[in-house]
Amino acid sequence: MDKIVFRILLLVVAVSLAGCATTTAKKNTMATFQWTSPTKRIVLVQPDIELSELDAGGVLEPRADWTETARGVINKGLRLHFTKSGAVVVDAQGSTAHEVQLIKLHGVVGQEILTHLYAAPQGTAAGNAPLPNKGTALDWTLGPGTNEMRDRYGADYALFVFVRDSYSSAARKALDVLTVIAGAALGVGIIPASGLQIGFASLVDLRTGNVVWYNRLLNGSGDLRDEKTSTGTVDELLKDLPI
């Protein structure tokens, strides 16, 4: 296996996911969802979205056109949500090296939350692979370095969105393939036969850097390639967002 970490062997899984279309939002129990200023400003970090097509051989092919459609849908849905709630959306510019590092740090934090609050250890029923020192609490932070963003944008919160979505090609659906599962440590990813949609939305309080709200989306009901059916996906993603 060469140094390119992104080299992924994709194998197909015939397992159907139990409990699909679940979203379970988590809140940091210490957080109070309040605004510093009467103008409620929220920074929207550019959503990290990728839609792919799963072909007959189990190969995941990124689709730029699908991704653009999904990006449009999600951006529109996010802004509509905040229009309704009365918050002003500001787009993050990523203009300083520090801000870029904060955004990259969030990429890691978001995945650790996914792993430790939503994932299940091997061989167990649905549950999670918790860190014993955290349990089921949403207790993660980017650190107070986020004050720089608070000052630059005049915003109290930042919202991050991450979506990976794959859809089977027609050829793929015709096959019925058995599973081989390999360990994550080998850089092997498994995509279910029907494709996999996974995403999260994460709300960071820029005054403290704490992740105060987090929601995972798994195999939602909408097709993000299609504007008409996909607005539901955004609603699921932002379900129970307290601001």
Partner 1 sequence: MNLVWRATAALATALIACTAIPVHAAGQLDVPPPVGYRPALNTAEGGLWAIMDKVEDQIKVSPALVTDEALNTYVHKVVCELAGEQCSSLRLYIVDDPDSNAMTAPNGMVIVWTGLLLRTQNEAELAFVLGHEITHYLKRHSVLNFEHATNAAGTVAFLSTATLGLAALPAALIAIGGIASYSRDQEREADEGGFKLVVGKGYDPRQGATFMANTAEEEDANPKRRKPSAYLSSHPATKERLATLTKRAGEIEAQTRNNLVATDEYRAAISPHRAAWLEEDFNRGDYLQSVAMVKQLVKAEPGSAELQYFLGEAYRRRNAKGDLESATAAYQAAIAAMDAPNAAYRGLGLAALKSGQKDVARGAFQKYLSLEPDAKDRAIVEYYLTTVGGTP
Partner 2 sequence: MRWNTFFAAMLCVALSACATYTAVDPNKPVTIGDGVTVDAQVAWATTSSYQTGTVWTIDGLRLNSLRFLTGITPGNPMMTIPGLARKDMIPYSESMLPNDVMDLVTGTLAKGGFQQVRGDNLKPAPFGSVPGFRFDVSLTTEDGLLMKGTSLIAQRGGKLDVILFLAPAEYYYDRSLPTVERIFASVRVPATAAAKAPGA
Q: Which tokens hold the place of 221?
A: 């009901």
- At position 48, the amino acid (one-letter code) is D
Q: Given candidates 17, 56, 90, 105, which one binds partner 1 under the rule CB under 8 A?
A: 56
DSSP 75: H
Contact status: 180 vs partner 2 (CB under 8 A): no
Q: Given candidates 54, 159, 218, 241, which one binds partner 2 under the rule CB under 8 A?
A: 218
* 3-state SS, residue 78: helix
Q: How far is CA 62 from CA 59, 128, 224, in A?
A: 10, 29, 14
* Cα gap 137→129, rounded to integer Å: 12
What phi, psi does 90 have (nearest 5°)? -120, 135
CA atoms within 13 A on the CB side of 48: 16
Q: Between residue 87 and residue 126, which ones bind partner 1 under the rule CB under 8 A?
A: 94, 97, 100, 104, 107
Contact status: 79 vs partner 1 (CB under 8 A): no
Contact status: 176 vs partner 1 (CB under 8 A): no
Q: Given candidates 42, 44, 54, 60, which one binds partner 1 under the rule CB under 8 A?
A: 60
Contact status: 164 vs partner 1 (CB under 8 A): yes
Contact status: 199 vs partner 2 (CB under 8 A): no
Contacted by 129, from partner 1, partner 2, none: CB < 5 to 8 Å by type: partner 2
Contacted by 49, from partner 1, partner 2, none: CB < 5 to 8 Å by type: partner 1
Number of residues that bind partner 1 (CB under 8 A): 35
* Cα gap 237→243, rounded to integer Å: 14
* Cα gap 112→121, rounded to integer Å: 14
Q: Which lies closer to partner 1 via its Cβ, residue 41 or residue 106? A: 106
Contact status: 123 vs partner 2 (CB under 8 A): yes
Q: For the chain, how far is it from start to end, CA to CA, in angstroms?
A: 46
* Cα gap 191→199, rounded to integer Å: 14
Contacted by 123, from partner 2, partner 1, none: CB < 5 to 8 Å by type: partner 2
Which positions lie near partner 2, rule CB under 8 A? 1-3, 5-6, 8, 13, 15, 17, 98, 100-102, 104-105, 107-109, 111-112, 114-116, 118-124, 126, 129-134, 140-145, 164, 181, 183-190, 192, 196, 198, 209, 216, 218
